[in-house]
C-alpha cells in the first residue's frame, strides 16, 4: 500500500500572532513552525500501517524552501520520502490542485490529510482533493483500518459517530482520535540522522487558478479586566452580573 500524507507547515500555538501591511499579511518574524496537529495524527497512523502492513509512506507539502525543516521532521518520525511542491499555499483550491497532481503521478492508494490546518482552519483541501481525483472521501476521521483494498473508518457526526466502509483509493480528513495523543512520535537521534539521507524531491507547481484571497485579518477583541468583589458585597456582584455581564 502506498500512502501519501499531506503536511501543513503551521505556526506553533504558543507563537505570538501579528499582522503587517495593513493587517493583510501574517507576520512571520519570530514565529516557530510545526507540523499541523491534525496532520501529525495522520502521519502517526500512516507509520503504523508502515510498521504493521509494510506500507510505504510519502509526505508532501505545498510551500517554499522554509517548509523543509517540517518535512525533515516528518522523515525523522518515519516517513520514507518527502515531496515539496515549490509554491506558496495561496488558497485551498490551488493547494488541492497541486496535491492532486502529486497523487496522480505517484498512484497512491491512501491519501491522509488533516481535516483542517491550524492556521487558516479552512477545511477545504481534503474534500477538494478527493473531488479532483474522484476518490472516496471520509472527513473528520477518528479511526481507520485497511485490509487489502477495503477500508473501515469512523468519523464524528452530531451526537455520535458513523462507521463507514469504503474501498481504496481513499482520501481521509483526519483529526485527533485517529491515534491517541500518547502514541504521537517524537523524533529520536537515529531518526534525525537517517532523515538527512532520505529523498526530498522538489517539484514545480502546475498551473492552477487562485479562487480566494485574504483581504484583511483581525485579532479577537482583548479580554476585559477582571472585576473583583469582596465576599460581603453580594448585592454588587449580582448587580454586575445582571446589568454589565447580562448573564442573569
Confidence at residue 246, expressed as pLDDT on a 0 to 100 scale = 83
Confidence at residue 90, expressed as pLDDT on a 0 to 100 scale = 84
Per the CB < 8 A criterion, the answer to whether 2 and 56 are in contact is yes
Confidence at residue 78, expressed as pLDDT on a 0 to 100 scale = 94
Please give the domain boundaries of the chain with CATH numbers for all domains: 2-219 (3.40.50.620)
Confidence at residue 156, expressed as pLDDT on a 0 to 100 scale = 86
Dihedral pair phi/psi, residue 223, rounded to 5°: -70, 140
Confidence at residue 73, expressed as pLDDT on a 0 to 100 scale = 94
Query: For residues 159 and 176, what is the distance between their CA atoms, to the nearest angstrom?
Result: 17
Residue ranges of the chain with per-residue pLDDT less than 50: none
Question: Crossing angle for the helix pair 37-53 and 68-77, nearest 10 degrees?
Answer: 40
Confidence at residue 247, expressed as pLDDT on a 0 to 100 scale = 82
**The C-alpha cell that represents 146 in the structure block:** 485497511
Query: For residues 211 and 169, what is the distance between their CA atoms, to the nearest angstrom?
Result: 27
Nearest-CA neighbor of 142 among 167, 160, 122? 160
DSSP string spanning 183-244?
Answer: G-----HHHHHHHTTS-EEEEPPPP-----------PPPPPPPP----TT-HHHHHHHHHHT
Q: How many residues does the chain have?
A: 248
The sign of the dihedral angle between the CA atoms of 28, 100, 77, 175 is: positive
Amino acid at each position: 500500500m502506498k500512502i501519501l500524507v499531506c503536511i501543513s507547515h503551521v505556526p506553533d500555538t504558543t507563537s505570538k500572532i501579528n499582522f503587517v501591511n495593513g493587517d493583510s499579511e501574517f507576520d512571520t518574524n519570530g514565529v516557530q513552525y510545526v507540523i499541523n496537529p491534525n496532520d501529525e495524527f495522520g502521519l502517526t497512523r500512516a507509520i503504523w500501517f508502515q510498521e504493521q502492513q509494510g506500507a510505504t509512506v510519502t509526505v508532501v507539502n505545498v510551500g517554499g524552501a522554509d517548509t523543509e525543516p517540517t518535512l525533515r521532521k516528518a522523515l525523522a518520525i518515519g516517513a520514507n520520502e518527502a515531496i515539496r511542491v515549490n509554491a506558496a499555499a495561496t488558497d485551498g483550491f490551488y493547494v488541492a490542485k497541486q496535491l492532486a497532481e502529486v497523487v496522480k503521478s505517484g498512484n497512491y492508494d491512501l491519501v491522509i490529510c488533516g481535516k483542517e490546518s491550524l492556521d487558516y482552519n479552512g477545511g477545504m483541501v481534503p474534500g477538494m482533493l478527493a473531488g479532483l481525483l474522484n476518490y472516496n472521501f471520509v472527513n473528520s476521521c477518528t479511526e481507520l483500518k485497511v485490509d487489502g483494498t477495503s477500508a473501515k473508518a469512523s468519523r464524528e457526526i452530531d451526537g455520535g459517530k458513523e462507521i463507514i466502509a469504503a474501498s481504496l483509493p481513499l482520501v481521509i480528513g483526519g483529526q485527533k482520535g485517529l491515534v491517541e495523543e500518547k502514541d504521537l512520535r517524537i523524533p529520536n537521534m537515529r531518526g534525525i540522522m537517517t532523515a538527512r539521507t532520505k529523498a526530498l524531491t522538489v517539484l514545480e507547481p502546475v498551473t492552477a487558478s487562485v479562487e480566494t484571497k485574504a483581504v484583511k485579518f483581525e485579532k479577537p477583541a482583548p479580554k476585559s479586566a477582571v472585576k473583583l468583589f469582596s465576599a460581603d458585597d453580594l448585592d454588587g456582584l449580582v448587580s454586575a452580573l445582571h446589568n454589565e455581564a447580562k448573564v442573569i
